[in-house]
């Protein structure tokens, strides 16, 4: 089946900005004192914010469904690699081989909870995104209905980790079990349930609009 997509692709510039914002935020979190360079950055960001507010739709609602022809914002596809364009979401690599998928992930400082460790909430975000990407790659996906995490060991920051996902489909449900590991040590286990959606039932989604001067 074809990949399951829903929404517009992120702009290349958006992806560059997301990666940079994630890296710079990690650096500011590690500073010992206030820094003039950060003050200049704040000023630049404030000026950028003021300009961009004039260039994006005033209606923050996404152009989806009944609002597809409205004045809202473009909706970006959330099926694949959300972290590439949203610095709030962890980045990971994934390889799909049918109902099994595996990949790697490294969590930078922005995802810290306890000292030197990943906040458990970000592990939930990671698994939800990775499982949905696996489902979308196989062309059968839907809304998450359940997400259960079991924390076996603390998950370290700045460490190359591996994960594996195994899914099964029955009736109108998709079930995935996953593990996150450091070497041969299991750090976290996940059980994720999702609807097996019907593409024909997806609402209309607006594409990007031409910019007028």
In this prediction, residue 202 carries a pLDDT of 87
User: Which domains does the chain carry?
Assistant: 12-201 (3.10.129.10)
In this prediction, residue 213 carries a pLDDT of 55
Comparing CA positions, the residue from 208, 211, 213, 210 lying closest to residue 73 is 208
Burial of 191 (0-12, 13-18, 19+ CB in 10 A): middle
Mean pLDDT for back-to-back runs of 10 residues, the chain (213 residues):
86 97 97 98 98 94 95 94 96 97 98 98 98 95 96 98 97 96 98 92 90 65
Would you give the distance in Å from CA 174 to the centre of its chain? Answer: 20
In this prediction, residue 4 carries a pLDDT of 84
């Amino acid at each position: 089946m074809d990949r399951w997509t829903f929404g517009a692709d992120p702009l290349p510039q958006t992806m560059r900005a997301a990666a940079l914002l994630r890296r710079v935020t990690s650096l500011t979190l590690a500073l010992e004192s206030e820094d003039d360079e950060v003050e200049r950055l704040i000023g630049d960001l404030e000026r950028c914010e003021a300009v961009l507010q004039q260039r994006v739709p005033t209606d923050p609602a996404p152009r989806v469904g009944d609002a597809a022809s409205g004045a809202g914002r473009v909706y970006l596809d959330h099926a694949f690699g959300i972290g590439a364009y949203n610095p709030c979401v962890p980045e990971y690599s994934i390889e799909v081989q049918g109902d099994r998928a595996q990949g790697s992930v490294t969590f930078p400082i922005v995802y810290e909870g306890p000292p030197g460790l990943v906040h458990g909430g970000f592990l939930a975000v990671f698994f939800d995104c990775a499982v949905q990407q696996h489902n979308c790659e196989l062309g059968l996906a839907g809304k998450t209905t359940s997400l259960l995490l079991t924390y076996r060991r603390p998950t370290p920051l700045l460490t190359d980790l591996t994960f594996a996902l195994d899914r099964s489909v029955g009736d109108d449900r998709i079930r995935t079990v996953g593990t996150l590991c450091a070497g041969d040590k299991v750090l976290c286990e996940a059980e994720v349930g999702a609807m097996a959606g019907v593409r024909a039932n997806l609402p209309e989604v607006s594409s990007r609009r031409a910019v007028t001067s």
